Amino acid sequence: PLSGMSLSVQPPNVQVALGDLLVLSCVVATGTGPLSFSWHRGGSATPLGTGPRLELRVGDKDSGHYQCRATDGDRMAESPPLHVTVL
């Protein structure tokens, strides 16, 4: 089963200025087989992106909680939500 999922963020202080580039990376410590990733903000079902990395040019509506989901086809794991503030 998938476990040990963590979310790392660049810049690490999670406060970004309007127009800055926000880079989020999702890392799964354990799991089997090929993994699929998706990124979500505020619990939305529509993904912001797919893949283990999300790059976002920050706009004025991009504050909120971000979460990474990973699946191996049978099981899904979610990262803890990460709060991003746009200054």
Q: Contact at 8 Å (CB) between 38 and 17? A: no
pLDDT mean for each 10 residues of the chain (87 residues): 67 83 85 84 92 93 91 83 90
Q: Where are the alpha helices (DSSP H) in the chain?
A: none
Q: Where does residue 12 rank: exposed (0-12), middle (13-18), buried (19+ CB within 10 A)?
A: exposed
pLDDT of residue 72: 82
> Which letter, b or e, does each residue of 47-64 get, where b requires 16 or more Cβ atoms within 10 Å of its Cβ?
eeeeeeebebebeeebbb
Q: Where are the domains of the chain?
A: 3-86
**In the prediction, which pLDDT does 9 show?**
63
CATH superfamily of 3-86: Immunoglobulins (2.60.40.10)
User: Residue 7: its pLDDT value, please?
Assistant: 61
